[in-house]
Structure 1
Amino acid sequence: MTENIKKIQLHELHVALGAKMTPFAGYDMPVRYSSDMEEHHTVRNGVGVFDVSHMGEFMVTGPAALELIQKVSSNDASKLVSGQAQYSCLTNEKGGIVDDLIVYKFDNEKYMLVVNASNIEKDWDWINQHNTMKADLKNISDSISLFAVQGPKAIEAVQSLTPLNLNDIKFYHFAVEEFAGIKDVIISGTGYTGAGGFEIYVRNEDAEKVWKAIFEAGKDYAIKPIGLGARDTLRVEMGYCLYGNDINDDTSPIEAGLGWITKFNKEFINSENLKKQKEVGVERKLVGFKMEEKGIPRAHYPIVNMAGETIGEVTSGTLSPSLGIGVGLGYVKTAYSIPGSEIKISVRNKNIKAIVSKPPFTKA
């Protein structure tokens, strides 16, 4: 299997920086450089950089671009203006989620879809399968590197690298501008940490120059490289879904609390059934919870009610570095989904008290 693991463009650079590398979503990725705790606090309180070049990017262009995106995705991409991005998901025919993704609109005939690394091939096949309107599709995943500069000091750290006023980039908006002396870099006000910052899309051949320029520009702000370990604790604190854990081919966006990206003013794959779900209700819902007693929740731990009856399962969980307590996400029977509901998490056969709590668990 190991010979099939892909390497991101800056693999050797991360090894030289002392990163612990681990296979993730088909790629050899930096999981940590120092400690997850230290890296987590660096992003929450200062600025850190993730190399997330494993993510997939598809260009959708031509007169039929929007029509295809509207058909395969749950959100309403017709509402986008040029320079705006949108969180959405690809739905399947049985009510589940093929993937969650971000749709970027450059103009009326040019869009970019950013998908999860583990689903690049699956998503590509799915979108092509439904491209009856013959939009132009191009998979550019292997030629693009992606750096997430995250944290409250992100703007100060990298402003010197671009003529663009980074304060002008609103949340979920982007610009194509010169960055670190490289033309046509996508600078996006997105991220997966809830700590603010940008995601920088560059061509692979420019990746090393841009990475080094970011660290040179940010040295006075104690900028550090950050691994996937801290990325996970940061996103769990915010209650952000991770594909394969909290959402998958068998979870509907309504169950997953993603009704806000599921728009029924248009038709998309399985929209009729999902609309019924929204109207009638679902039997289980994805909730956030905080541990009331000492214990760390982990994926697949059973969730039980106060009588000890199984009512669901943890999908993501961690010890929150910001709060010092266990927090997590999991599916429970709908009756237990109301914030404030008391539940218990089975941690190594011991039922530990928790309370249903609406994320984010901490404000960045």
Structure 2
Amino acid sequence: MSRPTETVTILGAGAMGSALASPAADNGHEVRVWGTWLDDELLDAVEQGRSHPRTGVPLDSRVKTYRSGELAEALAEATYVVLSISSDGVMEVLREAAEYLRPGQTLAITTKGFVRSGDRVVTLPEAVAGVLREAAPALDLSLVAIGGPCKANEVAARRPTAAVHACASREVAGRSRALFATGAYAVEVSEDPVGVEVSAALKNVYAVSLGVCQGLAQHGGEPYHDLQAAAFAQAVTEMIRIAEALGGRPETVTGLAGVGDLEVTGLSGRNRVYGTRVGGGEHPYEAMQAMQAAGQTVEGVPAARLACELVDQLIRAGALPDWSGLPLLRQIARLLDGRSPRRGEELSLALARAALPHALPHALTER
């Protein structure tokens, strides 16, 4: 029995946006990729049949491309829309797209991070829902959070990938799975979009600490595998605490969306690379400048600052007792703000105090 054909419009021609076009096209859907005013170079490459500059994989020839001035055309008759814009531009694009969205559509989000909304820090789906209420009150779109250990280049190349598609409505999440799932792109359905989004944002923050351990090893010539493993375990514990405080489920964090995504980001993500540079002795600001100059976004840095604001917000609301259960997040924030030791043994001990808060002698854990 053949699947019904849908029209999928992906807003954002970056790595993940172009990658998700592959499984949707493989399932026989009409797929459109719209690029922002910053994506012209990417579209130039794929329209000329060259590999996508960020994934190294050519865009599927069945996919139609649209330039920034063709937003209305890209969204015309679309049944499923994917927001795949970097966190610093996603709200601007959403406000522009809102007038072309229609009731009954599904809106999926691959962007990761927290967003400041007024005087509050919120998850991206909450911010998206707020923008839609403001810009198009009549719309009542189903929102799907897409997460999991998905490297865009592997999705684009159709290597085995396990993703999570989450929505409060299991029916909508199931429809999303049916639209994208292939033999290579496996989709797990979840009814916990909060847990998926919190995991997706925080794993970028905690991956920085995993990179710091690798930077310490590269700089000093000795491995820090034990410290990295302890940091990984503490990261998962803290992610669970924050997710539960926001209404998410611990099993989401211990599954693909949390542990799985933290693992792959700690192995080969930009946030890990940034942490490696800092762990090797670079000043956090200089490391960021170098990566930005190379066109590499480090989501974990702004996410760390917003996560700290969010924790303070949760403490004020009584959803968290205090900061005592989140020493690793606090240490990462101190490091990124230049308020922590940055080299060798002093840095490793500072990280150890945060990663092993209940195992070290009392004298070492004093802060």
TM range (shorter): under 0.3
Q: Which has the higher strand share?
A: 1
What is the TM-score with the length of structure 1 in the denominator? 0.25
What is the TM-score with the length of structure 2 in the denominator? 0.24
